[in-house]
Structure 1
Amino acid sequence: MASKTENKPSSDRLVLNEEALKKAKSSLDDGAVTPHNDGPWVKDIIDLLNGSLATELVCVLRYKRHHYMADGLASPAIAEEFLVHAQEEQGHADRIAERITQLGGEPDFNPATLLERSHADYNDSNDLKEMIRANLIAERVAIEAYSQMVDLIGDKDPTTRRLVEEILNDEQEHAEELKTWLAL
């Protein structure tokens, strides 16, 4: 069954769907949501993004706490990196929230349900090695979640998929850095 925006091949040629292009000229209140990305999966993508938003916010809080609580010989450099990671996670959260609103959804910043919606855990350890370990676990969880999202979204929403892939790349870099610190 063809979707409403699927292009119909004309003698095996790739052509744009003219009806979808005409529809893009209307419904201006929908902003970035055009017929191409106005499918039955939009709510699911918004839900996935809200789960990621919760995860990023929990990561910001965990990294911030670890930044202020890091103690020990190697801690000044690591504490500063925890702060850098917190800022990068905040940037991820902001980009995710922006995409949710572009898709017509509402970003869920409700602190009362943040931990239950997050894929990652909060950690209030005062031990530097345990902080690094907890952050590495959280980054690995985020990597797995974002990898699954890339697969789930596929070609349904290229803009969201690219966003998720960019964040996934950052999370992989964080995990490699944390792995190195854990070995110190």
Structure 2
Amino acid sequence: MISNELMSKLQKAVARELQVSIQYMWQHVLAKGIKAEPVGALLKQFAINEMLHAEKIAERISFYGGIPTTQPDPITIGKNLTEMLNLDKKAEEEAVALYKEIIKLAEKEEDYVTRKLFEQILEEEELHLDKFSSLLEE
């Protein structure tokens, strides 16, 4: 068994992953402007990646007898590509912070599978964060 605190954080992680998967997909559809095509393709790729994260985290919650949330965190699309990327960068910063907390808590609870899962997801989230940060520098 895991603590209520860790289960709560896993549920928060699923809600966040659902949020950004929807957010990035809608941004992919709605992006306009000269960079819309390449950035839109990246957003679509990231949306799919985030949905896969949600699935893996949900499987972990289920393993512990929980029922994964179906409610995403609030979705914010943005009015233009720059605003979208700023929102996305902030979402990834929040994910990185949350996932570092989960890794520490899983380690403390000797839940090495959850720790490993979140180390893998964290690596991908940091890549997303780096890409959004780079795009905003252009």
TM (norm. structure 2) is 0.93
1:183 is matched with 137
Larger radius of gyration: 1
Q: Which runs of 5+ in 2 are unaligned?
A: none
Amino acid at match of 2:118: V
Deviations 1:57-83 (A, max 9, x none): 001111011000111111100000000
Deviation above 6 Å: which 4+ runs of structure 1? none
Q: 1:152: how far off?
A: 1.7
Q: For 1:107 and 1:163, how far apart are their aligned partners in 2?
A: 16
How far apart are the structure 2 equivalents of 1:124 and 1:170?
A: 21
Larger RCO (alpha carbons 8 Å, 6+ apart): 2
Determine the structure 1 residue equivalent to 2:64. 103
Aligned to 1:77: 38
Q: Which residue of 2 aligns with 1:89?
A: 50
Alpha-carbon deviations, 1:132-162, whole Å to 9, x = none?
A: 1110010000001101111122142000011
The runs of 5 or more residues in structure 1 that have no matched partner are 1-37, 116-120
1:163 aligns with 117
| Conservation of the 8 A alpha-carbon contact between 1:65 and 1:124 | yes
TM-score, normalising length: structure 1: 0.71
SS in 1 for 2:68: coil
Shift of 1:106: 1.1
Structure number with higher helix proportion: 2
Alignment root-mean-square deviation, CA: 1.3
Percent identity between the two aligned chains: 28
Q: 1:141 aligned to 79, 94, 118, which one?
A: 94
